[in-house]
Amino acid sequence: MNPRDENHSMPSVKRIVLLLLWGGLAALGYAVLHLSFIPVAWAAIVAFVTWPAYLRLRLLLRGNAAASALLMTLLLTCALVFPMLSLIVPLTTELTAAYQSIANYFANGPHQLPEWVARIPWLGESLQELMNQTTGDPAAVRAQLTQWAEQWMDEVGQFVGGVGRNAAKLGFALVTLFFLYRDGESIVNQGRRALWPFLGERLETYLVAVGGMTRSVVYGLVLTALVQGALAGLGYWAAGVQAPLLLAAFTALIALIPFGTPFVWGSIGGWLLLTGDTVAGVGLLLWGALVVSWVDNLIRPLVISSAARIPFLLVMFGVLGGLAAFGLIGLFLGPVILAVLMALWREWQEEQASTRTATRCPPGVPLE
C-alpha cells in the first residue's frame, strides 16, 4: 500500500471515529437530560419574558448579578406559588358545593324543561325523556352519583400524584431560572459563537424572530387567558352559578387554546336555560359572546400577529399543533417554530427577488 494513500486515509478514519464518539456522547447526554428539557424550556421562557425587569433590578442592586438573580427568582416564586396555594381551599369548597348542588337537583326530580326547549322538534322530546329517565329512579341516581364520586376520587388521586411530579418540575425550573438570570448573558453569547460559523449574519434574524414570537405569544396567550378567565368568572358569579372561582380558573386554562372559551361559558349558559333559569342563562350567553369572546377576538390577534408579523391563522395552527405535539409547552414552542420557518421563507423570498432583479439589470446599471 502506498504510504501517501495510507496517510491520506488516516484523517478520514479519525473523523469517523470522532463522529461516532460525538454521536454516542450525544445519545448518552439525551438519556440523562431528556427529563429536564421541559422545566428548562419553561425557565427559559420565563427568564426571557421577565429579563427587562431583571435588568432593572440588577441596576438597583449596583450590578450584583447573583443577588439580583436570587431576589428575582424569589419574587417569581412568591408570584406563582402563593396564588396556587391560596386557591386550593376555595376550589375544594366550591367543588364540593357544586357536587352537592348537582346531586340535589337530580334527587329532587322529575324536572320539566322550559317550554321553548320542549317545543323544539325531536330534540325537546328526547331531552325531556332523558331527564325523566335520569331523575325518575332515585336509587339509580344515587348509584350513578356514587359511581361518579368514586371516579372523581380516583382522578383526585391521580391529580395529587401529578401535582407532586409537577411540583418537583416547578422546583427544578425555579432553580434553573436562577442560573439563567445570573449567567444568561454568558449562555447567549456562547450560543451565538457556536452558531455563527454555520448561520453567519442570518443568526440575528432568527434570534429576533424567536424572541419576538416568544414575547408576543406569552403576552397574547397568557394575558388574554387571564383576562377572559376573570371576566367569565364575573359572569358566573352574576348568574349565580355554583363554584364561580373553579369555573373561572378552568375557563382561563381553556382560554389558552384559541376559541376554546365558548365551550365553557356556552355549556354553562345552556345548562341554566335547560334548568329553567332563563334570565341568568341568556345573560351569561350574551356576556360570553359580547365581552369574553371579544377579548379573544380582538386582543389576541392584535398582540400576536402585529408583534410577530405573522398571520393569526398561522399562529393558531402553531398553538394547536404545538399543544398536540409537545403538551402545554407546545403552546409556545409551536408558534416559535413557525416564526423561524416564516423568517426562513421571507429570507428566501428576498434572495429570490434580489437574484431576479440582478439578472434583469445590464452590467454597470445600479440597482434601485
The per-residue pLDDT for range 329-345, each reduced to its tens digit, is 887 888 888 877 887 78
- The residues spanned by each domain of the chain are 36-199, 201-352
Q: Which residues contact 98 (CB under 8 A, 6 or more apart)?
A: 242, 243, 246
Residue whose C-alpha is closest to residue 184's, from 48, 368, 40, 34: 48
The per-residue pLDDT for range 42-90, each reduced to its tens digit, is 888 889 889 999 999 999 998 898 999 999 999 988 887 777 666 666 6
Cell numbers given for 175 = 432553580
The per-residue pLDDT for range 88-125, each reduced to its tens digit, is 666 667 666 666 666 666 666 666 666 666 666 666 66
The per-residue pLDDT for range 174-219, each reduced to its tens digit, is 899 999 999 999 998 998 888 888 888 778 877 877 787 778 778 7
User: Which letter does DSSP use for residue 363 in this model?
Assistant: T
Helices marked H in the chain — which ranges? 3-33, 37-49, 51-60, 65-107, 115-118, 123-135, 138-199, 202-217, 224-239, 244-254, 262-274, 278-287, 293-308, 312-326, 330-360
Residue whose C-alpha is closest to residue 318's, from 340, 346, 345: 340
Taking the C-alpha atoms of residue 295 and residue 289, their distance in angstroms, rounded to an integer, is: 10
